[in-house]
């Protein structure tokens, strides 16, 4: 045997005429499908988790006397569920008749596009979520007491709806920071939930691309 095992393995991936090619292709077909199936399953579970979580938050906030904040958060999550279902349907419609390489690359293209779609909404979601929490804090009994303490410590006649201007400026500054950090927050969220699977996907694509170049 003049060829090394490594050379035969590489040739088998690229040339279907080689004896080992079907085994290599089947291996990558299974690895590709396993990763895609795992991610799609996680995406579907995430949709269910958002729905259940929003209902639990509505119940929790209602019990602590802040039902409107619960409703507000549920309203913010509705577009997220709609986006998630739409994007998941797109991934399920990808053609499985392609080669393992073409299939995994088409899935990765969809994934990057989907992340961009989510990212655009999260740039709105995070600031709006903080605004809702800030408003609830201001109108709550505890918030009113805190505002009273602030005015006593730093008196001012410049009040807007009973709220000192410096508190509103602080809230506005935090909203700006949250808005600017939305992409980073979303990427952190992605990494926590899907980081391991994304890493496996990247490694598989890198392996397949490396073999195609040899």
71 has a pLDDT exceeding 90 = yes
Contact 72, 57 (CB under 8 A): no
pLDDT confidence of residue 34: 83
Closest CA to 111 of 180, 197, 181, 25: 197
Give 93-124 pLDDT, tens digit per residue. Answer: 887 766 777 888 899 999 999 999 999 999 99
pLDDT confidence of residue 114: 94
* Long-range contacts (CB closer than 8 Å, 24 or more residues apart) made by 179-186: 179/123, 179/126, 179/127, 181/126, 182/119, 182/122, 182/123, 182/125, 182/126, 182/127, 183/119, 183/122, 183/123, 185/122, 185/126, 186/118, 186/119, 186/122, 186/126
Query: What's the mean per-residue pLDDT of the chain?
Result: 83
> Which residues pair with residue 164 across a beta bridge?
159
Minimum mean pLDDT range among 29-33, 42-46, 63-67, 103-107:
29-33
Run of H or E residues at 38: helix 21-63
Residue 29 pLDDT grade (very low, low, confident, very high; cuts 50, 70, 90)? low
Contact 208, 100 (CB under 8 A): yes
The mean pLDDT value for 138-149 works out to 80
13 has a pLDDT exceeding 60 = no
What pTM does this model have?
0.77
- Return d(Cα 16, Cα 6) in angstroms, integer: 16
pLDDT confidence of residue 12: 46
Minimum mean pLDDT range among 66-80, 122-136, 140-154:
140-154
Supply the DSSP string of 174-200, one letter for each residue.
HHHHHHHTHHHHHHHHHHHHHHHHHHH
């Amino acid at each position: 045997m003049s060829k090394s095992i490594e050379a035969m393995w590489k040739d088998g991936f690229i040339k279907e005429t080689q004896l080992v090619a079907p085994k290599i292709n089947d291996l990558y077909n299974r690895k590709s499908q396993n990763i895609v199936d795992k991610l799609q399953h996680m995406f579907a579970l995430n949709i269910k988790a958002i729905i259940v979580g929003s209902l639990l938050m509505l119940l929790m906030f209602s019990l602590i006397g802040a039902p409107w904040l619960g409703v507000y958060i549920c309203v913010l999550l509705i577009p997220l569920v709609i986006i998630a279902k739409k994007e998941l349907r797109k991934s399920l419609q990808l053609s499985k008749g392609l080669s393992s390489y073409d299939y995994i690359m088409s899935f990765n293209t969809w994934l990057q596009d989907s992340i961009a779609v989510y990212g655009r909404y999260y740039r709105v979601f995070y600031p709006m979520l903080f605004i809702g929490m800030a408003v609830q804090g201001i109108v709550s009994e505890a918030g009113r007491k805190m505002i009273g303490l602030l005015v006593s410590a730093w008196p001012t006649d410049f009040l807007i709806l009973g709220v000192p201007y410096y508190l509103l400026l602080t809230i506005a500054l935090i909203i700006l920071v949250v808005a600017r950090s939305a992409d980073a927050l979303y990427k952190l969220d992605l990494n926590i939930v899907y980081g391991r699977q994304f890493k496996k996907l990247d490694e598989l694509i890198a392996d397949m691309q490396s073999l195609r170049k040899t």
